[in-house]
Amino acid sequence: MSTTWYELRVNGTLSDRGRGAFHDLGVVTVPPQTIVFGQIDEMADLPELLALCSAMGLEIVSLRRLPEGGRRLPEGGGT
């Protein structure tokens, strides 16, 4: 299974319940957006992540692959 680090930004902030929906991924609020990031299997997990965002009514602002060593906190994610 090939995994890659991704960063997904959505508009708004998420409740604790909303944050919990992202299980093993990091979730950081950087008003006015929320950043979801982590290691994702492109073939299996990425479509599921996008479907989850859609089901939650989240507006996706951006989705990007992080460079190798992407485990660091995303840019602007200091909280």
The one-digit pLDDT tens for each residue of the chain (79 residues) are 678 999 999 999 999 999 999 999 999 999 999 999 999 988 889 999 999 999 999 999 999 999 876 555 556 665 4
- With 0-12 / 13-18 / 19 or more C-beta atoms within 10 angstroms meaning exposed / middle / buried, residue 6 is buried
The domain of 15 spans 3-65
Pairing label, strands 33-41, 26-30: antiparallel
Residue 77 lies in a domain: no
pLDDT computed for residue 1 by the predictor: 60
Supply the pTM of this predicted model. 0.83
Which CATH number fits the domain that encloses residue 36? 3.30.70
Residue 40 lies in a domain: yes
Q: Decide if 20 is inside a domain.
A: yes
The answer to whether residue 48 sits within a structural domain is yes
CA–CA separation, 68 vs 57, rounded Å?
30
In a domain, 7, yes or no: yes
Does the residue 36 lie in any domain? Answer: yes
| Domain membership flag for residue 72 | no
Domain count, the chain: 1
pLDDT at 79: 44
